[in-house]
């Protein structure tokens, strides 16, 4: 995983300025006309903001927010074209430079899509209901993550090419512009957002079954769907049997079902071919494109692209249906491209699958699974690698009953993600390495992102538990970016976790701006009396703050998880 950017100090300065200058607008509403200068006082970078907003006249925060998003979209389009021009000269570039630019190309294209969608949503209204407000907040958070991914990749490849000076300034300016759009949005629309229904705190009861697609509350579904039972409206242990007997078409709303069978008896012999045959741009209202993958070891690298939406991948169980690859940074891949299985298309669901990267600890970053799929859910899956196993890249994600194996930073990224009932297995790293379960990458104080680990177990994998050759220290996490945010709550913390709990990234980087918290954990490693004394670390005394990191609050799961059939607890565990 790449080092944090040199802009961290500037971000900290902006945050401190924000905490004081925000008082300027404390007595106004978002609809109150103010000067551009006054509007900029409440942003993370007032000086840059004043260089962007029109200098004369007055407007409300809604007007300035729309203007900023429009400017961001124009900038994203120009940057995408710039990356395309660099790639057109690829004969003169190293393979690592080409890989980094291709990552930037995807990120830039997604940013154009996200800003187009965000701009369309806020164009004609000053009032957004949840989940609309959360949708836009999520998209504007993701464009910063995408920009950071591009920057990190170029930084990692900088030693192999010199002709990248033309990208540095556009990336830096784009990051500032995207941060401004996010800042103005959170000050205009987020405070006035009205929930479609109460979701803060949520319910303690598990939810099961299927529901309507996210954002399609008023669409009518076929009458037959009302009679379908939820895929997981029984105990978790019953799920495999039900799927095997009844099939996916009888349990969740389905558009098409195809099978992958290496023997040739199914519709396809590879997962990649099945994904490529999926209908384009399903919106969830007509059901999932279900890919049933029979037991076997599938040696392939799979990408679910942005137009392949609402795909449900169902295997025969952990260790039975396995997708495996061995790409790594040492072998020339970017961290982003090293993933054995990568998902971008919205609404992706995976059940009963194993995703594996076998590159090994000596190959350093080697991702088993990368998700940048909004509203994606994973149930009964195993993610197995060493460093950087599970890349929860961006947008909203949920994991239930999954196993995650790794060593260094093995759950990393900048999604808004909740893990429930999962087991994190810290493996045996190379001698001299420490295990860190998480490396959360929130880079802006207004991003609605973070990692929530709820009702899970953090334990040693068998090879780590049996090792006597050398000592390995294990930690809950370390801050990849300046505003890293991770909460471990209502979970079992094994004895492997060092009493200090958390590991610094480098010196005092992010120790004042991160948000790390623990709440109501058990186990021999859960004692917080000897935890780090960082300003950003918190031991939560009651459920009020912890409730902000539940399914209902962190990812608004009650609005979209019922459709997936994956069970979830929306609030704190009773």
21: left (phi over 0), alpha (psi -120 to 50) or beta: alpha
Question: Phi and psi of 86, rounded to 5°?
Answer: -60, -45
Based on its alpha-carbon atoms, the radius of gyration of the chain, rounded to whole angstroms, reads 23
* Those residues with Cβ within 8 angstroms of residue 538's Cβ, 6 or more apart along the chain or in another chain: 515, 516, 517, 518, 545
Closest CA to 554 of 207, 211, 200: 200
Give the Cα separation of 267 and 371 in Å (integer): 26
Give the Cα separation of 86 and 108 in Å (integer): 13
Q: Is 237 a catalytic residue?
A: no
Give the Cα separation of 561 and 399 in Å (integer): 11
Burial call 156-191: b when 16+ CB within 10 Å, e when fewer: bbeeebeebeebeeebeebbbbbbbbbbbbbbbbbe
Greatest alpha-carbon pair distance for the chain in Å reads: 71
Give the Cα separation of 30 and 20 in Å (integer): 18
The CA–CA distances, whole Å, from 444 to 175, 423, 485 equal 10, 29, 11
Give the Cα separation of 495 and 489 in Å (integer): 16
Burial call 218-227: b when 16+ CB within 10 Å, e when fewer: eeebeeebee
What distance, in Å, lies between the first and last C-alpha atoms of the chain? 37
Give the Cα separation of 185 and 207 in Å (integer): 32
Query: Does residue 157 sit in helix, strand or coil?
Result: coil
Adjacent-strand bridge partners of 260: 268, 293
Question: Phi and psi of 20, rounded to 5°?
Answer: -95, -45
Q: Which of 130, 409, 508, 527 is catalytic?
A: 409
Closest CA to 110 of 306, 279, 283: 306
Peptide bond into 55 cis (omega under 30): no
Strands 206-209 and 565-569 come out as antiparallel
Query: Which are the catalytic amino acids?
Result: 409
């Amino acid at each position: 995983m790449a080092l944090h950017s040199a802009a961290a100090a500037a971000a900290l300065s902006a945050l401190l300025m924000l905490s004081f200058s925000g008082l300027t607008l404390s007595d106004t509403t978002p609809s109150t006309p103010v000067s551009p200068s006054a509007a900029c006082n409440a942003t993370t970078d007032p000086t840059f903001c004043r260089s962007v907003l029109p200098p004369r006249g007055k407007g409300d925060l809604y007007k300035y927010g729309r203007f900023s998003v429009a400017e961001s979209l124009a900038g994203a389009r120009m940057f995408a074209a710039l990356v395309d021009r660099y790639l057109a000269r690829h004969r003169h570039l190293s393979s690592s430079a080409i890989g980094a630019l291709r990552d930037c190309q995807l990120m830039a294209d997604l940013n154009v899509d996200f800003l187009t969608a965000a701009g369309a949503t806020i164009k004609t209204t000053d009032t957004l209901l949840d989940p609309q407000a959360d949708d836009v907040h999520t998209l504007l958070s993701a464009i910063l993550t995408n920009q950071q991914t591009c920057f990190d990749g170029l930084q990692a490849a900088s030693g192999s090419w010199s002709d990248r000076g033309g990208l540095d300034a556009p990336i830096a300016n784009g990051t500032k512009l995207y941060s401004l759009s996010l800042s103005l949005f959170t000050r205009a629309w987020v405070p006035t957002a009205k929930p479609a229904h109460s979701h803060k705190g949520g319910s303690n009861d598990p939810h099961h079954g299927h529901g309507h697609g996210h954002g399609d509350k008023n669409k009518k579904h076929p009458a037959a769907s009302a009679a379908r039972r939820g895929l997981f409206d029984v105990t978790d242990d019953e799920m495999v049997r039900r799927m095997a007997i009844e099939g996916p078409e009888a349990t969740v709303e389905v558009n098409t079902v195809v099978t992958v069978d290496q023997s040739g008896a199914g519709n396809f012999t590879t997962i990649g071919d099945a994904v490529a045959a999926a209908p384009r741009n399903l919106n969830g209202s007509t059901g999932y494109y279900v890919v049933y993958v029979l037991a076997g070891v599938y040696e392939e690298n799979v990408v679910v692209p942005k137009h392949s939406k609402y795909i449900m991948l169902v295997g025969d169980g952990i260790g039975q249906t396995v997708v495996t690859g061995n790409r790594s940074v040492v072998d020339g891949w970017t961290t982003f491209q090293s993933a054995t299985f990568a998902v971008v298309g919205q609404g992706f669901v995976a059940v009963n699958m194993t995703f594996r990267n076998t590159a090994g600890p000596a190959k350093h970053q080697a991702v088993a699974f990368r998700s940048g799929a909004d509203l994606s859910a994973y149930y009964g899956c195993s993610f197995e690698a060493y460093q950087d196993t599970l890349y929860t890249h961006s947008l909203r994600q949920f994991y239930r009953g999954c196993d995650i194996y790794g060593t260094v930073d093995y759950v990393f990224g900048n999604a808004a993600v909740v893990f429930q009932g999962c087991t994190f297995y810290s493996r045996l790293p190379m001698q001299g390495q420490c295990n860190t379960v998480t490396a959360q990458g929130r880079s802006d104080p207004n991003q609605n992102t973070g990692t929530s680990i709820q009702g899970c177990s953090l334990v040693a994998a068998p090879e780590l538990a049996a090792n006597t050759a050398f000592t390995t220290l294990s930690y809950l996490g370390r801050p990849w970016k300046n505003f890293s945010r991770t909460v471990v709550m209502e979970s079992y913390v094994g004895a492997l976790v060092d009493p200090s709990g958390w590991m610094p990234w480098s010196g005092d980087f992010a120790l004042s701006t991160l948000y790390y918290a623990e709440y109501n954990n058990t186990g021999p490693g859960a004692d917080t009396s000897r935890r780090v004394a960082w300003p950003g670390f918190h031991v939560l005394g009651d459920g009020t703050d912890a409730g902000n990191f539940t399914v209902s609050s962190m990812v608004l799961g009650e609005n979209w998880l019922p459709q997936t059939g994956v069970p979830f607890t929306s609030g704190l565990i009773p």
